[in-house]
């Protein structure tokens, strides 16, 4: 009996971005007619590996075999020709075009003909054959996210893809859409297709997949059939043995009696496309504690932070917020400061909405200078905030938001892009704010950082929020849906 060649076989793939080794000699085999889950934390290299397999990135070393033949992909067109298809996390559709137009786009050459009715008929047939229901004549911009994803799948299938790669396909889907996608994947695999599923969601992956591969920090640390491993083994592969913590928080405050400063009760938030990002979430932050928030991308933390900062009004549920909340958003150049304006003008910015009459500029110039000196923003007499370095901009924003002792402070990835000294400085300021009674909420995509700082942890998963012990392993498990 001959064993069929694997549908996809990546051998010894390495990829370097600048000084970081994103993939280190990774081999990855997907048997034909199986559903293969590719697991890993943020930045483990899952997406990079699949982009290489799909011809969107070139590897430094290694080879790619599809159905037993070696290929050198120069672009995704080569990969498509070899029978691969990829459904990206952020869809690659033209919103103003119809479903049919999106699907045939790229099929007809520059001078090729396009027969709208014939193409629509073809798409309708394709929908029937595949069991993916979409109206061929609907405009993509009018479709729900789940339907847009079906268009992406149809696009790949219409080009005869036999191996489909899904990058976090359920991050944007509602639970119902997720179920529909999963049952379709089973049908597709039963019909002889092959699927690679990149995901954070461990439990779903384990119930759905035939095989599983785990990447950690650019290395393949586990490759097995699902039956041969249990959840605990996969988790330890994902998170690594014995979490090596940075220095733990010197003082962890354990407050259960402080005054509640921020509270959200059964809060539901939908994004602009109408899909729910938070479902009936409760959260509570007391004076004098740092509550850490964690979650994989798109799990709802972005919305939760903005609800707690009073920047987003929930569709339902109630929030109780104090009058003065400091907010340090992640994208400071866009959301926190106006780079070409002076320090004084940026100090006034948070008050801009409520000021009346004349602005006492000389007072604010004094205040800006004092804040800059006090928080070590260099140079304190910079004219425009945009001329400061990233670290100094962040110090300036934090100084401004802490000014006037706000009752609460919400910060999002406050150390992103900062060097160690600047990071430590920022974290020290947050501890100092807590010690003076401020209710601090902090999100960081760096798990160790947040765990080392937080007094309590809230973890977002799939639009819900649960409280976990302050411990990287517990938080890491909760982030992928395990309690």
Partner 1 sequence: MRPRATHDIVLASAVLVAITGLALGVIAIGGHPVLPALAALLRGSFGSPFAFFSATLVRATPLILLGLAVGLAFRAGVLNIGGEGQFHAGACAAVTVGLALGGSLPRPLSILVTVAAGTAGGALWAGIAAILKRSFGVLEVISTLMLNFVAALAVSFLVRGPLQEPTHVYPYPPALNPSLQLPTLAADTRLHIGFLAALGLAFGLWWVLRTTARGFRLRVVGAGAAAARSAGRVDVTGVVTAAFLASGAIAGFAGAVEVTGVTHRLFEGISPGYGYSAIAVALLARLHPLAIIGTGIFFGALEAGGAAMQRDAGVPAQFALIVEALVVLCVLAIDRLGPRTSEGTQ
Sign of CA dihedral 331, 335, 338, 342: negative
DSSP 101-113: HHHHTTTS-TT--
- Given candidates 124, 139, 217, 311, which one binds partner 1 under the rule CB under 8 A? 311
- Given candidates 235, 349, 370, 473, which one binds partner 1 under the rule CB under 8 A? 349
- Given candidates 245, 351, 379, 435, which one binds partner 1 under the rule CB under 8 A? 351
359 or 370, CB closer to partner 1?
359
Give the nearest distance from C-beta 394 to partner 1 in angstroms.
14
Contact predicate 152/87, CB 8 Å = yes
Q: Is 370 in the site for partner 1 (CB under 8 A)?
A: no
138 or 359, CB closer to partner 1?
359
Q: Rounded distance, CA 64 to CA 158, Å? A: 23
- Given candidates 92, 187, 245, 352, which one binds partner 1 under the rule CB under 8 A? 352
- Residue from 5, 25, 7 nearest 15 by CA: 25
Give the residues across from 139 on adjacent strands: 98
Q: Rounded distance, CA 444 to CA 353, Å? A: 28
**CA 254 centroid distance within chain:** 30
Q: Is 308 in the site for partner 1 (CB under 8 A)?
A: no
Stretch that binds partner 1, among 7-15, 75-83, 345-353, 474-482 (CB under 8 A): 345-353
Q: Is 335 in the site for partner 1 (CB under 8 A)?
A: yes
243 or 386, CB closer to partner 1?
386
Contact predicate 440/408, CB 8 Å = yes
Which two three-digit tokens encode residue 312? 């987003």
- Given candidates 336, 442, 459, 460, which one binds partner 1 under the rule CB under 8 A? 336
- Residue from 185, 127, 195, 140 nearest 165 by CA: 195
Give the nearest distance from C-beta 407 to partner 1 in angstroms.
16
Stretch that binds partner 1, among 18-26, 86-94, 337-345, 426-434 (CB under 8 A): 337-345
Which residues have a Cβ under 8 Å from the Cβ of 126 and sit 6 or more positions away? Answer: 103, 132, 154, 157, 158
SS3 55: coil
Contact predicate 96/141, CB 8 Å = yes
320 or 383, CB closer to partner 1?
383
Q: Is 358 in the site for partner 1 (CB under 8 A)?
A: yes
Residue with tokens 């425009």: 384
Give the nearest distance from C-beta 450 to partner 1 in angstroms.
22
CA angle 469, 475, 477 (to 5 degrees): 120
147 or 384, CB closer to partner 1?
384
Q: Is 323 in the site for partner 1 (CB under 8 A)?
A: no
Burial of residue 457 (CB within 10 Å: 0-12, 13-18, 19+) is: buried
Pairing between β-strand 163-167 and β-strand 194-199 as defined by DSSP bridges: parallel
- Given candidates 109, 192, 250, 357, which one binds partner 1 under the rule CB under 8 A? 357
Q: Is 192 in the site for partner 1 (CB under 8 A)?
A: no
Stretch that binds partner 1, among 46-54, 190-198, 358-366, 402-410 (CB under 8 A): 358-366
Which two three-digit tokens encode residue 98? 């119809």
- Given candidates 356, 420, 421, 483, which one binds partner 1 under the rule CB under 8 A? 356
CA distances from 306 to 309, 328, 380, 429 (A): 5, 10, 30, 21
Q: How many residues bind partner 1 (CB under 8 A)?
A: 32
Binding mask 371-400 for partner 1 (x = CB under 8 A): ------------xx-x--------------
145 or 359, CB closer to partner 1?
359
What residues line the site for partner 1 (CB under 8 A)? 311, 327, 329, 334-342, 344-345, 348-359, 361-362, 365, 383-384, 386
């Amino acid at each position: 009996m001959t064993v069929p060649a694997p549908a996809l076989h990546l051998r010894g793939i390495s990829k370097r971005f600048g000084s970081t080794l994103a993939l280190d000699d990774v081999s990855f085999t997907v048997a034909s007619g199986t559903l293969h889950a590719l697991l890993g934390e943020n930045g483990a290299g899952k997406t990079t590996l699949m982009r290489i397999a799909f011809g969107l990135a070139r590897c430094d070393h290694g080879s790619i075999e599809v159905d037993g033949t070696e290929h050198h992909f120069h672009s995704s067109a080569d990969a498509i020709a070899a029978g691969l298809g990829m459904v990206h996390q952020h869809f690659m559709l033209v919103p103003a075009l119809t479903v049919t137009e999106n699907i045939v786009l790229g099929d007809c050459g520059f001078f090729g003909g396009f027969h709208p009715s014939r193409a629509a008929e073809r798409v309708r047939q394709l929908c029937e054959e595949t069991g993916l229901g979409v109206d061929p004549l609907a405009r993509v911009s009018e479709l729900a996210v789940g339907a847009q994803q079906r268009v992406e799948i149809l696009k790949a299938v219409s080009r005869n893809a036999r191996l489909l790669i899904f990058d976090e396909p359920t991050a944007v889907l509602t639970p119902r859409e997720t179920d529909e996608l999963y049952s379709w994947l089973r049908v597709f695999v039963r019909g002889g297709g092959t699927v690679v599923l990149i995901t954070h969601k461990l439990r779903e992956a384990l119930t759905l997949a035939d095989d599983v591969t785990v990447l950690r920090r650019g290395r393949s640390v586990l490759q097995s059939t699902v039956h041969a491993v249990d959840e605990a083994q996969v988790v330890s592969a994902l998170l690594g043995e014995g979490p090596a913590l940075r220095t733990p928080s010197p003082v962890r405050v354990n407050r259960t009696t402080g005054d509640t400063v921020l509270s959200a009760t059964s809060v539901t938030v939908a994004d602009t496309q109408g899909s729910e990002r938070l479902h009936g979430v409760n959260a509570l932050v007391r004076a004098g504690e740092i509550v850490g928030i964690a979650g994989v991308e798109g799990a709802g933390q972005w919305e939760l932070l903005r609800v707690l900062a009073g920047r987003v009004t929930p569709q339902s549920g109630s929030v109780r917020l104090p009058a003065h909340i400091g907010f340090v958003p992640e994208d400071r150049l866009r959301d926190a400061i106006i780079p070409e304006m002076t320090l004084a003008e940026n100090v006034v910015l948070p008050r801009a909405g409520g000021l009346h009459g004349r602005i006492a500029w000389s007072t604010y110039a004094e205040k800006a200078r004092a804040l800059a000196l006090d928080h070590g923003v260099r140079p304190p007499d910079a004219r425009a905030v945009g001329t400061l370095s990233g670290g100094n901009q962040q110090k300036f924003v934090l100084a401004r938001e802490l000014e006037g002792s706000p009752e609460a402070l919400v910060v999002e990835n406050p150390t992103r892009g900062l060097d160690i000294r600047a990071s430590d400085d920022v974290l020290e300021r947050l501890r100092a704010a807590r010690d003076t009674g401020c209710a601090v909420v902090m999100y960081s995509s760096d798990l160790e950082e947040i765990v080392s700082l937080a007094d309590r942890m809230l973890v977002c998963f799939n639009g819900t929020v649960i409280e976990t012990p302050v411990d990287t392993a517990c938080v890491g498990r909760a982030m992928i849906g395990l309690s």
